[in-house]
Amino acid sequence: MASTRDYYEILGLQKDATDAEIKKAYRLLAKKYHPDVNQGDKSLEGKFKEINEAYEILSDSDKKAKYDKFGHAGVNPNGFGGFDGFSGFEDYGFGGIGDIFESFFGNMGFSTSNKKKNGPQRGADIKTYVEITFEQAAFGVEKEVSVNRFHNCEECSGTGSKKGTQPEKCNVCSGTGQIQYKTNTPFGQFVNVKACDKCRGEGKIITNPCTKCQGAGKYKNKVTLKVTIPGGIDDEQIISLRGEGEPGLRGGVPGDMYVVVSVKQHSIFKRQGFDVICEIPITFSQAALGTEIDVPTLDGKVKYNIPEGTQTGTVYKIKNVGIKNLRGHGRGDHYFKVNVEVPKKLNEKQKEALKRFAELTGDDVYAMQKSFIDKMKDVLGM
């Protein structure tokens, strides 16, 4: 059932939240309330569904616009905001438009709902999460993911009936899965169609249920799968495992499994596309005199010569030691910025040495400062 709570409230957001804020809030809540994380706690299943429903609406620009304007009615397929063609008729007891055509013309190609309901149906998709390190995202890794999913019962081959028996045709709907009833409306009397209550639209009734699955035809069990995560994958990208979702009904194909990848933040590195960036502090002496420093990269430490007179904020590049290109060959580059650290808590001897240094150097060695002072004099007329 659709939630009646405010979708922004569900995600803990204000109504002016950006797409990035909506995505971040959903990701945090989905991890917290995911059924695989809270196994056995049935009270949180509804919360998880509510979070997914809110994100489905707010992450879609068109649905979000309708929701912001009309509220829940704007995104309710049976409400005025979601009115599309004849879909709103169901609110008034008319049934689907196919049912109206069928009541007038019989089954002359206007209705295939019974065929769809009793025929093969594709299984539901599954979403799960996997967390990897920054380095694993850069180079790729094989991980295991565990999820609870349904499996077709081997004992009854998914039929739900005891081995050697078959389901019986429903005597209420004669195996169609549907029953007709008349509805009086302001436009006259209509013959409507609904799912049979006795067989729940299946057209068949299991009289001798399988002892292993109790007639369900399937059972839930934990499954562990290996997932190959390619090098270069980024945070919140999704890997699709075809056919690893819930089993199909009545011979239908299984659904898919979607693995959402979460990349842990690194203590030193940050990512920009396929490039890696980091910041390295150096001393005043190193910047003034030049020095050789150790630069951390994904491949380990690399020696790099910093020239004399290096200014704080200067960026250097080391080629081809970044992140693997996800869709091609080669790797990105590594950029590092040097920040000159000003010494603190100097003792008297150190302070005297710096004062002596300042006297010896004068203003000529500070080109940027001299240029700024000259400009300031022009501006202020000094």
- pLDDT, average across residues 204-223: 84
How many beta carbons lie within 10 A of that of residue 283, not counting itself? 13
Q: Per-residue confidence at 3, pLDDT binned at 50, 70, 90?
A: low
Clarify whether residues 125 and 220 are in a common domain.
yes
Size (the chain), residues: 382
Clarify whether residues 25 and 50 are in a common domain.
yes
Last residue of a domain, which of 242, 265, 288?
265
Clarify whether residues 5 and 71 are in a common domain.
yes
Clarify whether residues 149 and 224 are in a common domain.
yes
Using CA atoms, how far apart are residues 264 and 137, in angstroms rounded to an integer? 9
Q: Dig out the tokens for 38 from the structure.
A: 């809270």
| Domain presence at residue 162 | no
| Domain presence at residue 290 | yes
Using CA atoms, how far apart are residues 158 and 123, in angstroms rounded to an integer? 13
DSSP state, residue 3: -
- Answer whether residue 314 shows pLDDT above 90: yes
pLDDT at residue number 370:
67
pLDDT at residue number 105:
41
Closest CA to 193 of 261, 271, 99: 99
| Domain presence at residue 209 | no
| Domain presence at residue 191 | no
Output the domain CATH number for residue 222.
2.60.260.20
| Domain presence at residue 231 | yes
Clarify whether residues 371 and 322 are in a common domain.
no
Clarify whether residues 359 and 277 are in a common domain.
no
Using CA atoms, how far apart are residues 180 and 170, in angstroms rounded to an integer? 15
pLDDT at residue number 97:
40
pLDDT tens track for 34-87: 776 666 676 777 888 888 888 988 988 888 888 887 777 777 655 444 433 333
Closest CA to 51 of 30, 32, 37, 31: 30
| Domain presence at residue 113 | no
pTM value > 0.75? no
Clarify whether residues 370 and 329 are in a common domain.
no
Which domain covers residue 358, as residue numbers? Answer: 349-382
Output the domain CATH number for residue 60.
1.10.287.110
- Answer whether residue 134 shows pLDDT above 70: yes
Q: Dig out the tokens for 322 from the structure.
A: 């970044």
Q: Per-residue confidence at 200, pLDDT binned at 50, 70, 90?
A: confident
| Domain presence at residue 220 | yes
pLDDT at residue number 168:
87
8 Å CB contact between 100 and 89? yes
Clarify whether residues 131 and 149 are in a common domain.
yes
Using CA atoms, how far apart are residues 105 and 99, in angstroms rounded to an integer? 10
Clarify whether residues 126 and 223 are in a common domain.
yes
Q: What mean pLDDT is reported for the chain?
A: 81
Clarify whether residues 226 and 148 are in a common domain.
yes
Clarify whether residues 309 and 271 are in a common domain.
yes
Q: Per-residue confidence at 140, pLDDT binned at 50, 70, 90?
A: very high
More confident residue, 31 or 324: 324
Rg of the Cα atoms in the chain: 33
Closest CA to 333 of 275, 286, 288: 275
Residue type, 212: K
Beta-strand relationship, 238-241 and 257-263? antiparallel
pLDDT tens track for 4-17: 788 888 899 988 88
What total number of domains does the chain contain? 4
8 Å CB contact between 295 and 301? yes
| Domain presence at residue 174 | no
Give the CB-side neighbour count of residue 162, counting CA atoms within 13 A.
5
Clarify whether residues 276 and 140 are in a common domain.
no
